[in-house]
Amino acid sequence: MEQTELRPGTRTAVRPVTGKQRAARAARNGGEPTLEFAERVPYDAYVQASTLHRLQQPLSDDPGEMSFLMVSQIMELYFGLTCHELRETSRLLRTDRVWEALAPLRRAALHLEALNAAWHGLRWMTPADFNRFRNLLGEGSGFQSAMYRHLEFRLGLRDAALIRPFRRQTEVYADLNATLATPSVWDEVVALLARHGHDIPADLLDRDVRDEHQPHAAVEAAWVHIYGDSGPDNHLRMLGEALTEVAEQFGDWRHHHVKAVQRTMGAKVGSGGSAGLAWLQRSMARVVFPELWSARTAM
């Protein structure tokens, strides 16, 4: 029967198989991999690899630009993946399922670790290397990453002004507004502490979640108390450590970002209109999950 040629990116359903069917196929193949398929290769149908590899469109002929472009795209994917894990974390914390929330939190920390490793792919880049194609980027800047804004918002770093660049991208803007109006992971943690009997003021619990959480002595005291119990059944302490790992890995990403900017452009003005390095350094003063860090002084 004649087979229709599939255009790259065409969606083909992935057909489930059972263990018995896999064993039968292996027996028919004599242990060799299957080489003939009636339609699109199942791996490509699932991973969409042929689509992914068509998304790189460099603006120059400089061979180094491909590294810059693909590392940026890889980071975007990890931003989205980490947001996925943090959404699941929030959902579980909202229903007091602390033990179950540890798994997506720990995965989030590992995704952030992999995100940090992506910077290694740009360590070769000097100012001369970047300057060969930088002007072609126009006003394009990592500052304009919508998914990175989602990630910051879910971690509790909130500034409504930062979604203004997306006002003309109505769907993106609406999604960012929705995330901004949803309690962050840290908001869910603070509410959880209150439900577990810790003395958290009502005005802290009822505040507008679009505003950034400000460190509070009551939240810090709750963590000091929680860490005082080192028993194996203290799930809140385990939660604290999982959150700390996420915060630390995210902080490392911001630090690597600053160092990458220093390496490739020094203190030049940023492409997106900011002061570049100076703006990034100021932004690092905002701490993720602040009371988890300050509480350690009193432990």
pLDDT in tens, 213-257: 999 999 999 999 999 999 999 999 999 999 999 999 999 999 998
Q: Among 55, 81, 101, give the residue marking a domain's end.
A: 55
Residue 43 falls within a domain, yes or no? yes
Q: Are residues 139 and 284 in the same domain?
A: yes
Helix, strand, coil shares of the chain, percent, nearest 5, are: 65, 0, 35
Quick check: pTM over 0.75? yes
**% of residues, the chain, pLDDT over 90:** 75
Backbone angles phi, psi at 291, to 5 degrees: -70, -20
pLDDT of residue 262: 87
Residues of the chain with pLDDT under 50: 1-9
User: What sign does the CA torsion over 291, 159, 179, 138 have?
Assistant: negative
**Residue whose tokens read 């979640």:** 209
Q: Are residues 203 and 179 in the same domain?
A: yes
Which domain covers residue 5, as residue numbers?
1-55
**% of residues, the chain, pLDDT over 70:** 92
Whats the size of the chain, residue-wise? 299
What does the alpha-carbon distance between residue 119 and residue 114 come to, in Å, rounded to a whole number? Answer: 9
What does the alpha-carbon distance between residue 124 and residue 116 come to, in Å, rounded to a whole number? Answer: 16
Annotated binding-site residues read: 134, 257
Cα–Cα distances (Å) from 78 to 118, 136, 163, 250, 287, in that order, read 10, 25, 20, 12, 21
pLDDT of residue 261: 86
Q: Are residues 162 and 222 in the same domain?
A: yes
Cα–Cα distances (Å) from 149 to 21, 23, 227, 246, in that order, read 45, 46, 31, 16
What does the alpha-carbon distance between residue 43 and residue 40 come to, in Å, rounded to a whole number? Answer: 8
Q: Are residues 136 and 268 in the same domain?
A: yes
pLDDT of residue 4: 34
Per-residue burial over 19-41, b = 16 or more CB atoms within 10 Å of its CB, e = otherwise: eeeeeeeeeeeeeeeeeeeeebe
Q: Are residues 177 and 265 in the same domain?
A: yes
Q: Are residues 138 and 252 in the same domain?
A: yes
Neighbours of 115 (CB within 10 A): 22
Q: HSE of 110 in the Cβ direction (CA atoms, 13 Å)?
A: 7
Residue 60 falls within a domain, yes or no? no
Q: Are residues 33 and 144 in the same domain?
A: no
CATH number at residue 176: 1.20.58.480
pLDDT of residue 279: 62
pLDDT of residue 267: 74
pLDDT of residue 2: 29
120 burial via Cβ count (<10 Å: 0-12, 13-18, 19+): exposed
Annotated binding-site residues for heme read: 257
pLDDT of residue 74: 97
**Coil, strand, or helix at residue 192?**
helix
pLDDT of residue 286: 86
Amino acid at 45: A
Model pLDDT for residues 163-193, shown as the tens digit of each residue: 999 999 999 999 999 999 999 999 999 999 9
pLDDT of residue 128: 95
Which helix (H) or strand (E) covers residue 226, if one does?
Answer: helix 217-227
Annotated binding-site residues for substrate read: 134
